[in-house]
Amino acid sequence: MKKHVFLLIKRKKVIYVFIVVICTMVLGFIAFLSGGREAGKAQEGNQAAVKPAITGSKREPGHSIKNPGKASENMEKAYKPSTLKNNGALENKVRGSEEDFADRIMGSMSIEERVGQLFIIAFRQDIGGNPVTRVNDSITGIMNKYKPGGIILFNENIAGVDQTVRYIDDLQRISEIPLFIAVDEEGGRVSRITGENELNATKIPSMEKIGNTGDPELAYEVGKIIGRELYALGFNMNFAPVADIKTNPLNRVISDRAFGSDPKLVADMAVNLAEGLMEEGVFPVMKHFPGHGDTILDTHNGQVIVDHDMDRLMLVEFVPFISGIGNGIGGIMTAHIRMDKITQDSKPATLSRDVLTGILRDKLEFKGLIITDALEMGAISKYWSSEQASLLAINAGADILLMPLSFEEAYKGVIKAVEDGLISVEKINISVKRIIKSKYDLGLFDSQREIQDPVKILGKMEHKAIVDKIP
C-alpha cells in the first residue's frame, strides 16, 4: 500500500514538473514574440529619427519647411538641427545659452571690435592687380587692425581645392572671432566654385530650370549639394537663394536666377533650398528684399525705381520672404532699389528705414540678420560716400555692411558716428549680438567641427545623379 501511495505521489510530482516546464516554455515563447515586435518598433523609430540622406529620401510629413503657409504661426522659429524640432524645453535651453555666450563675447570687445563685426569685405586683388589666393602681409594687417566680421570670396580667389581650404583656414586662424566666410553660390550663371578652377564642383543648373520642375523636394536636395560642397571647402555663408519673382520678361539682371513668376512656387522652392543649405552647415541668405524681379535697369550701374504699392508687394514680391521668415530664415539681403510708393525718404531700400525697419523688422517681424547688397554697387556708390552709405544703412536697420567701396573710410566713419552720437551704441550692440548668436548657432565657435575631405565631396556621383534629374 505504501509503495502504491509513493508511486502515486511521485507520478503527481512528475506531472507537476512537466506542467511547470510546459508553462515556462509557453511564457518564454510569448515573451520572445512580444520582444520581437517591440524591437521592430524601436528599429522603425530609430530609422525615422535618422536625418534623410541627400540621395532623395523624403522628409517626414508635416516638416515645417514644407508648409510655408504656416509662416505666421512660426515667425520666431529658427533653423535648428532635427533633434531640436518640437522640443520647446531643449530649444529654450539652447536659446538661453546662446544669449549668455553672446553677452560674454561682447563683454570682452571694444567698440572698435564691435564695429568691425558689422562688415563683410573682399580681398579680390593685391596692389599689383593680381588675384588674391592666400593670406599676405597686407591682409594680415587689415584683419588685425579692423577685425571684420566676415570675408566674401569670388572666382579669382578660388583656384583649387588645397589652395581654397588653406586660404580660408588661414583667414580664420588670424581672426580672434570666427569669420563668416561668404560666397555667391546660386547655381546657374552665378557660381564661384564651378568656374575656371580645379575644384571639380557639381555644376548646378539655373534656378529657373529647377523651378520649372515644380518640385520643392528637388530644390531641397540641390540646397544640400551646394551646402555640402561649400562646407567641405570651409564656407559657412551663402548669399542664396534668390527669392525674387520674375514678373518682368525684360529683366536681364535676375532672369533665370529666379525660380519663376509664381509667388507661391518661388516661396516653396526658395525655402526648401535654404533648408538644404542650413542642414549642411551653411547659413542661407535670401535675396533681394523687397524684390528685384520687376526691374529692367541694373543696380550695379545706377538707381532703379520699382513703382509698386504695399498691396501689390504683399501679394507678390513679399511672399517668398514672408515664407522664409515664417520658416526661420537666418539672413535676408537687401536690394538697392527705390520703392517710392511705400517710403517717405526716396532712398534705396538698403538705406531706407521705412523699408528695413518699418516693413522688414516691424511689419514682417523678421528677427534675423539684415545684410546689405554690396555697397560698392553704382546705385549706392554713385550717390553716397562709403561713410555716408554705411551710416544710413545702419540707421535704416542693416546689421551687416557688405563690401563698401572703401572699407577703411566706412569703418572710420561708423566709429566717428558712434562717438558723435549719430549712431547709437545700442544699435551697434543689437546688431553685433545678432551676429555673434548666428555664428554660435552655426557652430563656428566649436573647435571640434567635423570636416570631410573636399576631394571626396566635390562633384561626387550622388550629387551628379540628383542634378541629372533636372530637365
The residues that are catalytic are 300, 373
Which residue type sits at 96?
G
Cα–Cα distance for residue pair 167/160, rounded to 1 Å: 10
Instruction: Give the three cell numbers for residue 465.
Output: 545623379
Stretch (H or E) spanning 266 = helix 263-279
**DSSP string covering 31-59:** HHHHHHHHHHHHHHHHHHHSPPPTTTPPP
Alpha helices in 302-343 (DSSP H): 310-315, 319-326
Among 289, 276, 274, 353, which residue's Cα sits nearest to residue 319?
289
Please count the residues of the chain.
471
Cα–Cα distance for residue pair 52/42, rounded to 1 Å: 18
Q: Cis omega (within 30 of 0) on the bond before 288?
A: yes
Instruction: Give the three cell numbers for residue 384.
Output: 553716397
Instruction: Give the three cell numbers for residue 17.
Output: 514538473
The conformation of residue 69, written as its DSSP 8-state character, comes to: G
The conformation of residue 61, written as its DSSP 8-state character, comes to: T
Using CB atoms within 10 Å of the CB of residue 161, give its burial: 0 to 12 exposed, 13 to 18 middle, 19+ buried. Answer: buried
Cα–Cα distance for residue pair 296/373, rounded to 1 Å: 18
Which residue type sits at 77?
K
Cα–Cα distance for residue pair 356/371, rounded to 1 Å: 10
CA 444 to chain CA centroid, Å, is 13
Distances (CA, A) of 62 to 53, 236, 329: 18, 28, 18
Write down the residue that cell numbers 524601436 correspond to: 42
Cα–Cα distance for residue pair 114/8, rounded to 1 Å: 96
Q: What is the dihedral of CA 217, 220, 226, 230, to 10 degrees?
A: -150
Listed in sequence order, the residues at least 6 apart from 161 whose beta carbon sits closer than 8 Å to its beta carbon are: 198, 199, 200, 233, 454, 455, 458
Per-position b or e across 195-212, b if 16+ CB within 10 A of its CB? eebebbbbebbbbbebbe
